[in-house]
């Protein structure tokens, strides 16, 4: 049976056909679809973003905004040793391209990198270089939390902050370098 309106198992002739050139409409994400890439072991990022969406409903809301999560295959990271950190970095960055291809199946308009790259890459230039490479996997715009953090810290005039992390000293030194690159 050709695509179209079906009633009781038969094509309903009284209706015009559906234009499939732009795909079927997304009933839940009709305003905006975001693709979220996160390590397979991250259990918080998706929940946090859905909380923002669900807590902002009503007039001028996020109703119709959808989040389509794709995990990057990674084992539970060993963030307590330099070797474990390097292994996690290699696995995560090595799996991103496949995950981007999977995320694109949901036809998102924007992509979100759902990992704190500052612990596995040292400084803003390294983070931006990795993201520039990752951006070549799709023709979509990306967002990373580091850009939002830089804008927020600048807005509030922050010069000193504290970091509390589970990462070992190499990962923490990389995070410190990123914030120093921001002028904090």
E-assigned strand segments in 105-184: 110-113, 141-143
According to the model, what pLDDT value does residue 144 have?
A: 86
In contact, 94 and 87? CB cutoff 8 Å: no
Arithmetic mean of pLDDT, 15-39: 74
| Percent residues over pLDDT 70 in the chain | 90
pLDDT tens, residue by residue, 141-183:
998 888 888 999 999 999 999 988 888 888 889 999 999 999 9
According to the model, what pLDDT value does residue 119 have?
A: 87
Number of Cβ within a 10 Å radius of residue 23: 8
More confidently predicted of 125 and 27: 125
Residue 24's pLDDT band (boundaries 50, 70, 90)? low
Domain positions in the chain: 28-181
DSSP three-state, residue 18 = coil
- Measure Cα distances from 13 to 16, 22, 38, 50, 89 in Å: 7, 22, 45, 40, 56
More confidently predicted of 12 and 95: 95
What one-character DSSP code corresponds to residue 104? Answer: H
According to the model, what pLDDT value does residue 130 have?
A: 92
More confidently predicted of 14 and 48: 48
DSSP three-state, residue 67 = strand
d(CA 133, CA 59): 38
What's the fold here for domain 28-181?
Rossmann fold (3.40.50)
According to the model, what pLDDT value does residue 176 have?
A: 93
* Backbone CA torsion sign across 81, 89, 69, 63: positive
According to the model, what pLDDT value does residue 36 have?
A: 94
What one-character DSSP code corresponds to residue 130? Answer: H
The end-to-end CA distance of the chain, in Å, is 62
DSSP three-state, residue 134 = helix
């Amino acid at each position: 049976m050709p695509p179209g309106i079906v009633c009781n198992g038969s094509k309903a002739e009284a209706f015009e056909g559906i234009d499939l050139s732009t795909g079927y409409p997304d009933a839940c994400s009709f305003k905006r679809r975001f693709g979220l890439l996160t390590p397979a072991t991250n259990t918080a990022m998706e929940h946090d973003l859905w909380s923002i969406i669900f807590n902002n409903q009503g007039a001028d809301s996020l109703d119709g905004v959808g989040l389509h999560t794709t995990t990057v295959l990674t084992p539970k990271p060993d963030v307590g040793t330099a070797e474990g950190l390097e292994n996690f970095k290699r696995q995560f960055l090595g799996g991103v391209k496949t995950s981007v291809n999977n995320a694109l199946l949901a036809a998102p308009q924007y992509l979100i990198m759902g990992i704190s790259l500052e612990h596995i890459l040292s400084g803003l230039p390294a983070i931006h270089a990795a993201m520039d490479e990752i951006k070549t996997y799709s023709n979509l715009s990306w967002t990373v939390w580091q850009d939002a953090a830089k804008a927020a810290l600048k807005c509030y005039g922050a010069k000193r902050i504290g970091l509390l992390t589970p990462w070992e000293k190499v990962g923490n030194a990389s995070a410190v370098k990123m914030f120093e690159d921001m002028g904090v």
